[in-house]
Structure 1
Amino acid sequence: MAWLFEWLSDLLLAVHILFLTDNFPPEGNAPASRTFEHCKVWVAQGHEVTVITCAPNFPDGKVYPGYKNNWYKRSVVEGINVVRVKTYMAENKGFLRRILDFMSFMVSGFFAAVWARKVDVVVGTSPQFFTAIAAWAAAKLKRRPFVFEVRDIWPASLVAVGAAKEGSAVIKMFEKIEMFLYGRATLIVAVTNQFKRELVNRGVNGAKIGVVTNGVDLTLYKQREKSQELLASLGLQNKFVVGYIGTHGMAHGLDKVIESAELLEGDSDIHFLLVGGGARVEVLKNSVVEKGLTNVSILGRQPKETMPDYWSLCDVALISLKDSPLFESVIPSKTFECFAMGLPTIVSVPSGEITGIVEEYEAGIIVKPENPNDLSRAILKLRDDAQALETYRSNALKAAKHFDRSALALKMLAQLEQTL
């Protein structure tokens, strides 16, 4: 009878988590990876998970091959119930068309959420809060707890990247909606401690704010030898490769990385490798051509499953953000991928949460954001100091163990269960 008691206990404890996000694999950006990896762990723990999302299209606003922008399409991905809904799609740049994109998912996502049956908790994720509006409305209708996962302070990030003007009527309206959602959430899950501090300073009840940082799938990202086939195809044999792998967006200050490459053009063994999609890819490519640089390769978006192969080519990883106070509270998820791959990291971001992590684990060098001269000096230091390179590499591997995505998923699951 013990097995029967155990089975009944598991059945009673299992919950149905409804998760709304407009990014999900095969998209390979940070929110898609975080949601997917968390949901896989929750399913493995015996819970039912339904993800409402749209057809994969980030960052170019074009549906990926093999998918259609259908009104309603169900599938099961590694035990996760995935519902894809129709949306208006826009490239990840600009303002008005992106807002229309977000609002279209808010509407179609809400109606899909209404049809989900026997839901116990509803989660909506940022950075933009229109997804959270849909989650709150669905939770309200179903009389279930609403959980707001805050991965970015939005709309402040719009101002930081120059997409909107501070104090404008639109931003003021967005800020009111933002505070409304914070107030209505049963639980807020912030991805950094600084986010939590900022929300508390703005009057949000700190008792209902949990923190679950980003992390890394240690089964996928691990130290490995350089892919010789990929090295040869890119002509990077015998090169000291400085890699930036991630979104090429307005927030990342990559134009200054290109300027650093220009300063190091005379060092023929140093090569910059940029991999990823985003609003600034073509601008950066044009800049490389205009400057006549031969030490930069910009490859654009690549399949998510190939990312460890591209990371393996790098001798040093680069984390870059614009010089804005908003980014003091950000922890780019690619940082933990760098750690897991055993890559020394050059962090070119405003002093804050991520610089504190790199300093704590002594896993790399911190330079001033948007400063090509400082970045160039850091690259030369690591190229010329094999002992420092090896020390940072060893420390990065040790640091990765503290950001295991599976453990972090269980931490967030515990917080969700507490809301019930």
Structure 2
Amino acid sequence: MAGKPHVTILIANLPAERDRRVIRECLTLEEKGFEVTVIAPRGDKNLRVLPGSRNTRLRPYPVKVYGSGVLTFAVEFGWSFLCIAVRLIGEILAGRAHAVQVCNPPDVYWPLALLLRAIGRPWVFDHHDLCPEVYISRGDGEPNKWVLRVLNALEWLTLRTATEVVATNQSFKDNAVRKGVHPDKVTVVRNGPSLKEIAVSGDPEEPVAADGVDKIVYLGVFGPQDNVEGVVLAADELIRMRGRGGWRVVLAGDGESMPSVRNLVAERGLGDVVELTGWLDGQAVDAVLRDATVAVQPDLPTRMNQLSTMAKTVEYVGRGLPVVAADGIETRRTLGDAGAYVPNGTPEEFAAVLNELLDDPDRRRQMRKLGRDRFLSMLSWEHQAGPYAAVFQRLLAKRLPKQAPAAGHIPRQRTGSHEDTRADKS
């Protein structure tokens, strides 16, 4: 154990046990012979090891402030930077952190990248979000040009100081290349569940609800940019089209928009047709999605959403769920014909397409098969784990056992050209 290469992963916006992408990355690294430590905000105070892992260590830190505006975000991320820096230095002094992966948001950890690279240790940037675009999407009016300039500068510094970049889709890779990162230093690793996380096999049949109720599901974070309120308003519209019986909307997740979503459900008198489950663990997520008829991705077609891969989208198609979504570049690349698209993402548009799908079991059946086929052939984590692990096998090749294949020359994954051969991508 002491001789194994060690990777330290840094997260600032979620407890480790809630970040499903990072959980999959940790399990992959463990399988490939690495030791892993995750430094992240404290969630469950009783956890010392990442749930489901063999021995991935957790080094949590307390969060004192949660940002809601520019100043409070600055305080929150300043505190996170301090906590992460102290713990990371402790890992280095303890003989660990042979390589470090940082996950954004925020894009403020580039000074630590300079420190690590100065002492000869690789720094990998796992690019989760386009922070400038997230800032624009969260506001109602014109974004502050100075804040936007700072965010763009921080993103540039974060990309350029990394040894290598892991991008969640081809659009993120293109963004990194435009900002000066060599294409060979960017590996595309998509979001998505593994086959073992999903309880269905083959082509899943549409569930037959014991209560005869069709379930429309939203799964994910409740943030201002996620437009969960739009699903509630679509439910209100759907009542006018088909009444209150025979269908139900299930909103699974949590986040800063939860109070406004809860209030909107109460104000519109939708408690009988809209269910709020709160945050669910992996097993509960699988159960909710397996029981669903249709899934909805309400993200509006902003620039950020055009270029982003939504983790929930791959969770949906992994179970063969038909998906109703606003039209977007990466959404189409993920779903293809397993999605039904609306142009603008208004509640009325979502309600109209949902109404059509609920009345068309043949189309749903076809979309289920197409979605499941896409998942099995290109979207599941099994297709992402190899390129992801190869990044660290290459960077830490000298620390790996001599007999391991990774100890030689690790071939670089040509993910950019690989992605472009497919009709869709996310």
User: 2:227 & 2:352 partners in 1: Cα distance?
Assistant: 18
Q: CA deviation at 1:75?
A: 4.1
Select which of 330, 333, 341 maps to 2:319: 341
The answer to whether the 8 A contact 2:9-2:38 is kept is: yes
Equivalence for 1:4: none
User: 2:50 & 2:303 partners in 1: Cα distance?
Assistant: 41
SS at 1:271's partner residue? Answer: strand
Pair 300,95 (structure 1): closer, same or farther in 2 beyond 3 Å: farther
Unaligned 5+ runs, structure 1: 1-9, 57-63, 68-73
Matches within 5 A, 1:248-287: 248-266=222-240, 267=242, 268-287=245-264
Q: CA deviation at 1:124?
A: 0.6
Equivalence for 1:406: 382
Pair 396,92 (structure 1): closer, same or farther in 2 beyond 3 Å: farther
Pair 164,211 (structure 1): closer, same or farther in 2 beyond 3 Å: farther
User: 2:228 & 2:50 partners in 1: Cα distance?
Assistant: 37
User: 1:320 & 1:199 partners in 2: Cα distance?
Assistant: 27
Equivalence for 1:153: 130
User: 1:164 & 1:211 partners in 2: Cα distance?
Assistant: 33
Q: CA deviation at 1:323?
A: 3.1
> After superposition, what is the alpha-carbon deviation per residue over 1:190-245, rounded to whole angstroms, capped at 9, x for unaligned?
101011112222333323222111121211223378999xx78xxxx211111101
Equivalence for 1:204: 181
Equivalence for 2:404: none
Q: CA deviation at 1:91?
A: 4.5
User: 2:330 & 2:319 partners in 1: Cα distance?
Assistant: 21
Identity across matched positions, percent:
21
Equivalence for 2:164: 187
Equivalence for 2:395: 419
Equivalence for 2:40: 53
User: 1:174 & 1:380 partners in 2: Cα distance?
Assistant: 41
Q: CA deviation at 1:171?
A: 2.9
Equivalence for 1:175: 152
1:15 aligns with 2:2: no
Equivalence for 1:315: 293
> After superposition, what is the alpha-carbon deviation per residue over 1:345-392, rounded to whole angstroms, capped at 9, x for unaligned?
1122x4211123212xx2121112432222112112211111111111
Equivalence for 2:360: 385
SS at 1:139's partner residue? Answer: helix
The answer to whether the 8 A contact 2:50-2:56 is kept is: yes
SS at 1:265's partner residue? Answer: helix
Equivalence for 1:242: 216
Amino acid at match of 2:8: L
Select which of 275, 284, 299 maps to 1:297: 275
Equivalence for 1:26: 17
User: 1:222 & 1:337 partners in 2: Cα distance?
Assistant: 12
Pair 155,212 (structure 1): closer, same or farther in 2 beyond 3 Å: same
The answer to whether the 8 A contact 1:345-1:365 is kept is: yes
Pair 41,16 (structure 1): closer, same or farther in 2 beyond 3 Å: same
Pair 290,24 (structure 1): closer, same or farther in 2 beyond 3 Å: closer
The answer to whether the 8 A contact 2:67-2:74 is kept is: no
Q: CA deviation at 1:331?
A: 0.8
User: 2:64 & 2:344 partners in 1: Cα distance?
Assistant: 32
Amino acid at match of 1:256: G
**How many equivalent pairs are there?**
383
The answer to whether the 8 A contact 1:92-1:278 is kept is: no
User: 1:337 & 1:51 partners in 2: Cα distance?
Assistant: 24
Equivalence for 2:423: none
User: 1:320 & 1:48 partners in 2: Cα distance?
Assistant: 38
Amino acid at match of 1:285: R
User: 2:330 & 2:131 partners in 1: Cα distance?
Assistant: 18
User: 2:60 & 2:230 partners in 1: Cα distance?
Assistant: 38
User: 1:385 & 1:76 partners in 2: Cα distance?
Assistant: 43
The answer to whether the 8 A contact 1:87-1:101 is kept is: no
Pair 163,415 (structure 1): closer, same or farther in 2 beyond 3 Å: farther
User: 2:38 & 2:338 partners in 1: Cα distance?
Assistant: 35
TM (norm. structure 1) is 0.83
Select which of 279, 303, 311 maps to 1:325: 303
Runs (4+) of structure 1 exceeding 6 A deviation are 224-228
Amino acid at match of 2:314: F
The answer to whether the 8 A contact 1:221-1:337 is kept is: no
Pair 406,38 (structure 1): closer, same or farther in 2 beyond 3 Å: farther
Pair 325,140 (structure 1): closer, same or farther in 2 beyond 3 Å: same
1:38 aligns with 2:42: no
> After superposition, what is the alpha-carbon deviation per residue over 1:260-307, rounded to whole angstroms, capped at 9, x for unaligned?
111111422222111110111121121122122232222322344311
Equivalence for 2:408: none
The answer to whether the 8 A contact 2:101-2:126 is kept is: yes
The answer to whether the 8 A contact 1:124-1:149 is kept is: yes
Equivalence for 2:83: 108
Pair 214,105 (structure 1): closer, same or farther in 2 beyond 3 Å: same
